[in-house]
Amino acid sequence: MYQTQEPEGFYRLPEVLRILGVSKTTFYTGIKEGRYPKGYKLSARTTGYKVSDIRNLCAELGGES
């Protein structure tokens, strides 16, 4: 079966929250507790989350990436 994967890159926070189905507060708490991956500063006001990190997290949680 052929699976399409998104190109490597970064998700912005709204995309991550939509994929994981959690609130912003829950996500930030999860980062502090080490359950969710930390972001990468892309510029002074922009943080991104690696697509591969979010895919791996979804696989660990039993969801689809």
The β-bridge partners of 41 are 47
Residue at 1 is within a domain: no
pTM of the predicted protein model: 0.79
Residue 2 confidence class, pLDDT cut points 50, 70, 90? very low
Residue at 45 is within a domain: yes
Residue at 2 is within a domain: no
Number of domains in the chain: 1
Residues whose CB falls within 8 Å of the CB of residue 5, separated by 6 or more in sequence, listed in order: 55
- Which strands form 46-50's sheet, in the order they lie side by side? 10-11, 46-50, 40-43
- What pLDDT, on a 0 to 100 scale, did the predictor assign at position 62? 84
pLDDT tens digits for range 15-64: 999 999 999 999 999 999 999 999 999 999 999 999 999 999 999 988 45
Residue at 44 is within a domain: yes
Report the interhelical angle of 24-33 vs 13-20 (nearest 10°).
90
CB atoms within 10 A of CB 54: 20
- What pLDDT, on a 0 to 100 scale, did the predictor assign at position 5? 60
- Quote the domain boundaries for residue 40: 10-61
Residue at 4 is within a domain: no
- What pLDDT, on a 0 to 100 scale, did the predictor assign at position 7? 66
- What pLDDT, on a 0 to 100 scale, did the predictor assign at position 1? 47
